[in-house]
Structure 1
């Protein structure tokens, strides 16, 4: 059996879609401030935890004398591979 769509069914479906669209739009406008507050509080907590760890590490270190130099981390030494390629010298042409 072949069923045909009626004009009232089409209008009804369009109205339902519009109602859902505007309902979601209104609800999102009402709930977005709470969502933004929640996300900002979580970010603040994470940054606070990281900063607190930094402060605790700084307090645990022994006090240094004035003018004393310490190296906390040695820089990574990069070893170059001599088999990579050839060095080509160039000249600038005026």
Structure 2
């Protein structure tokens, strides 16, 4: 086999190997995206739940009488803090 043909055959074999590696990398990337999406959805659901709780506590705060307002305020502030924590640094 000539040097040229040998070189081309070797390069062809290496390209086939690299294509296989790229396919494996693409599969891992797709899996990571799917796992990331699941985690993001879980975080979103948790934050939405905290939001709903804080909103409920805020509605109770607005309707509270003078004698119970401070107590309701405390529970609202706790719910608000949990919401802010659920949103993380960007929240």
* TM-score, length basis structure 1: 0.48
Higher normalized contact order (CA 8 Å, seq sep 6+, divided by chain length): 2
More helix as a share of residues: 2
Q: Which has the larger radius of gyration?
A: 1
* TM-score, length basis structure 2: 0.49
